[in-house]
Amino acid sequence: MKTVKNISPLGALAIPALRLEVAAGAIVELTNAAADLLLEQATNFVEVKKAPLTDEQKKAKADAAAKKRAATAAATKTAAAPAAEPADSQKEI
């Protein structure tokens, strides 16, 4: 996947083959093949290199992933818990 930015002096550009409209200045992530075709139009698109994550961003990403794993584990544990025994007053005689 590659990331490209619309730098066209015309503003927003429609790309019918991709069923996509890219707003002026917008950054989009595309397959390598699609991005390579757009990058041939040097006056319209430039490749955007992703900046490396800062330590703070890495920690936030790791924390979010840990919270998601914990929530998934809790949901799985709750769903797998056996049903409670009915109270004596609810048991059939």
* Lookup: tokens for 26: 């917008």
Segments of the chain assigned E as strands: 2-6, 13-15, 20-22, 27-30, 45-47
| pLDDT tens digits, 10-50 | 999 999 999 999 999 999 999 999 999 999 999 999 999 97
Q: What is the pTM of this model?
A: 0.55
pLDDT at 52: 73
Query: Average pLDDT in the 38-67 region?
Result: 90
